[in-house]
A and B are shown apart, each in its own frame.
Chain A
Amino acid sequence: MVKTILVVDDELDIRESVKMILEKNGYKVLTAENGDECLNIIQQKKPDLILLDIMMPGTPVIKVVKKISDIKIAFMSVVRISEARKQGLTEQENIVDFFQKPFNVTDLIDRIELLISD
């Protein structure tokens, strides 16, 4: 079955690039511009993984994350993991990985495959 990934990032070019990479590797990709849009989308369709940026306009990500408990989330941010940890962003159980931007394409694909393989 084709897996669905939701890419949440306020930067269009990043959304587009990640979408291109994932689609090329056989995933179905949804995109959202911010946390609020992300919450709207997952009410209609539940993805297998959310790739979530940390610094975005609108509702702070820490609040968005608290509203999601049954979908795997991987952060993708320029912020370092140590700082994200300090902000208490990595405490939830459904947070499964952290991609440091700028990311490596091969690494991204390998890790995502591992994250959502059955």
Chain B
Amino acid sequence: MDGKKFNLKNLLLSKLSRKITILFLIVGIIVPSFVFYYFYIIINNAAPETLASETEMFLINSVIVIVLILTINAGVIGFLFSRSILKSLKKLYKATKEIEKGNFDVHLEIFTRDEIQELADAFNQTVSTLAKIQEEGKEIDNAKTDFLSITSHELRNPMTPMKAQLQMLEENYFGKLSDKQKKSVMIITRNADRLDKLIADFLDISRIEAARLKFNFRKTDIAQVIKEMVQFMDGYAREKNIKLELNIEKIPVIEADPDRVSQVLGNLINNAIKFSNERCKIEISAKLKNNQILFSVKDYGCGLTPDDQIRIFEPFYQVEGTNHRRHDGTGLGLAICRGIVESQKGKIWVESKPEAGCKFYFTLPLYPVREIEPIKVLFSQKSVIEKKICEEFQTFLGPLGMGEFKELKGKNSITKDDLFRYIDFLIKNYILPQEQGLNFKNRIGKIFCDEKEVINEKLDTFCRFKADEVLIRD
């Protein structure tokens, strides 16, 4: 019912229909008027005073009626004509909207035997090509995940006898080893272990990407989990004379997977210890915020550049100037952390300034997710963030947004601080109304997982009008 009403209203008021109908009405009124006017002049010139005034009145009335009938006819024809075009256009519009939603299962049926039909045919072809590309993309994605999972399993198989034999050598199963032999076996074992850890991490990633990561949700005292983890890591911290400071605010007992929380927290603390200098401290905190538990791990190590802050969650990403090889890790830890956190609909991010240490945050919702969604761990975090920023640019700056974004990207200044400075510039020069600018800032902040909101009093649509008014007065 509703749909029909909406269509009728749209049809009567649609701009194209109105334009064509009015055009036909004008033509319908002007053309016969001129024709009759010329007839009148010709008759008057040829035989002046031949008509009686009564006959003349009758003729004029008839002419007016005829002109009116013709005009209405023209109007109706115009309306029907525009409707026939509109019908096809509407179909095309609806189909395009479906595609926008990502539904490629649309087929246009327009048989007007003209250019519109040609357009519809071309449209159908494009849609089927797009659908095919999307299908292929999905297949490639699945193949990648399967490949990762299968190869990781296959790689673990040869690791088994290798590690067993090495351990047998180490345990003197085949006689006592000389010091040199011992050293050699030790080096092989160490690297076999590293390789094995790498394979295990790859398996984890393939599980995250295929949404096959197991969560065992149960009533959990998060504070206790944190305390146990910190106690466990304290041993490693002491080796470098690092003090672990713990600050837990009141946290309710929630449904969560304690092992996964420990895995993420342990990884972050382990990283903090690795990248801290001796005799530093590391602050670990947890508190309740916006229906989530917010964890943080702060160190006073070398810190990260803005670019590193985005890319640090990418697999195998190496922070410039540090020597990852010196710190034995697989380079997959943070990528897996991100996968675990995001699989549970939490967020993970880092705030840092070079030489001032960094503070890692992650959130855990109070209620466990019903369905684990696949997370693209192997995707470049940077390109995902860039895409999101570009979208916001287009929302707030319209068609200009794309160009502006590309220019900023060209200058390599799309970190959060750069973007905020850019928006301030727009506001200061009245290019963007203030309230919209603040909204823009909030959206950009959210992309960078910023929890601070720039003051934002009203809804976007409402203030646009008000702000424009202020702008004109200035």
Contacts and interface: CB of A to CB of B under 8 A. Distances in A.
Interface of A: 11, 13-14, 16-18, 20-21, 24, 55, 78-79, 82-83, 101-106
A101 B157 contact: yes
Interface in B158-198: 158-165, 167-168, 171, 173, 196
B173 A20 contact: yes
Contacts of A79: 153
B160 A102 contact: yes
A14 B165 CA distance: 10
Nearest to B192: A102
A106 B160 contact: no
Given A11-B157, A101-B159, 14 more contacts: A11-B161, A16-B161, A17-B160, A17-B161, A20-B168, A21-B164, A21-B168, A24-B173, A101-B160, A102-B159, A102-B162, A102-B164, A104-B167, A106-B171
A102 B173 contact: no
B464 interface: no
Given A78-B153, A78-B156, A82-B214, A105 B161 contact: no
Interface in B136-172: 153, 156-165, 167-168, 171
Nearest to A78: B156
By Cβ-Cβ distance, the 10 closest A-B pairs, closest first, are: A13-B161, A105-B167, A17-B164, A102-B163, A78-B156, A102-B160, A101-B160, A17-B161, A102-B159, A82-B214
Interface in B203-218: 214
A86 to B, nearest CB: 8
B201 to A, nearest CB: 14
A13 to B, nearest CB: 4
A103 B156 contact: no
Contacts of B163: 102-103
Contacts of A102: 156, 159-160, 162-164, 196
A105 B171 contact: yes
18 contacts: A11-B160, A11-B161, A13-B158, A17-B164, A20-B168, A20-B173, A21-B168, A78-B153, A78-B156, A78-B160, A83-B214, A101-B160, A102-B159, A102-B162, A102-B196, A103-B160, A103-B164, A105-B171
Contacts of A101: 156-157, 159-160
Interface string B417-449: 000000000000000000000000000000000
Find the residue from B156, B164, B168 having the highest chain A CB count within 10 A: B164
B160 A105 contact: no
Contact of B173 (A11, A21, A78, A82): A21
Find the residue from A24, A78, A79, A83 having the highest chain B CB count within 10 A: A78
Contacts of A11: 157, 160-161
Given A21-B173, A24-B173, A82-B214, A105 B153 contact: no
Interface of B is mostly: helix
A7 to B, nearest CB: 12
Nearest to A99: B160
A55 B163 CA distance: 20
Contacts of A106: 167, 171
B272 to A, nearest CB: 28
Find the residue from A21, A79, A101, A104 having the highest chain B CB count within 10 A: A101
Contact of B164 (A18, A55, A82, A83): A18
Contacts of A83: 214
A17 B160 CA distance: 9
B173 A14 contact: no
Nearest to B167: A105
Contacts of B173: 20-21, 24
A65 to B, nearest CB: 20
A18 B162 CA distance: 11
Contacts of A17: 160-161, 164-165, 168
Nearest to A104: B167
A20 B168 CA distance: 9
B164 A105 contact: yes
B211 to A, nearest CB: 14
B50 to A, nearest CB: 106
Find the residue from B163, B167, B168 having the highest chain A CB count within 10 A: B167
A105 B168 contact: yes
A78 B157 CA distance: 7
Contacts of B171: 105-106
B192 to A, nearest CB: 8
Contact of B161 (A14, A55, A78, A104): A14
Contacts of B153: 55, 78-79
Find the residue from A14, A18, A79, A106 having the highest chain B CB count within 10 A: A14
